[in-house]
Copies of this chain bind each other. A is one copy, B any other.
């Protein structure tokens, strides 16, 4: 817990009880979560607080947003190897069509994508859909 506090401070994020809890929640989750997921986990807290906390985390580059095609934006902690603050970083995510969970595959880099002449690639969003390891193992 102390470690989290120091980490947040190092990222220029003021430490509050709520923020510690939300960070802890994200860290324990192995998958990307929606705002509703967080909401359900902290029913005492107001939705706005959770929303703004996530936004703060995003601005300070410790959380990144994922659009996995479900229409609902999900969030995940940036881990080692996730350089999402860098525009050219490739975000590879896996969305399970069975359990509906989205997982960060930060260790799986993808090759540079070629685009036609005249187009300038700044950022790539790649979502692989299928069956995750938990669901395929059943």
Q: Judge whether A41 is part of the interface by a CB distance below 8 angstroms.
A: no
A residues whose Cβ falls under 8 Å from a Cβ of B: 67, 69, 71, 73, 92, 94, 97, 105, 108, 110-111, 113-134, 136-137
- Asked whether, in the complex, the Cβ of B124 is within 8 Å of the Cβ of A127, the reply is yes
CA A115 to CA B103, docked complex, whole Å = 11
- Are B97 and A105 neighbours in the complex by a CB distance under 8 Å? no
Q: Which residue in B97, B113, B125, B132 is a CB contact (below 8 Å) of A69?
A: B125
Q: List 26 A-B contacts (CB under 8 A).
A: A67-B67, A67-B69, A67-B71, A71-B71, A94-B115, A94-B119, A105-B116, A108-B114, A108-B116, A113-B126, A115-B128, A115-B130, A118-B133, A119-B128, A119-B130, A119-B131, A119-B133, A120-B131, A121-B128, A122-B130, A122-B131, A123-B129, A123-B130, A124-B126, A124-B129, A125-B128
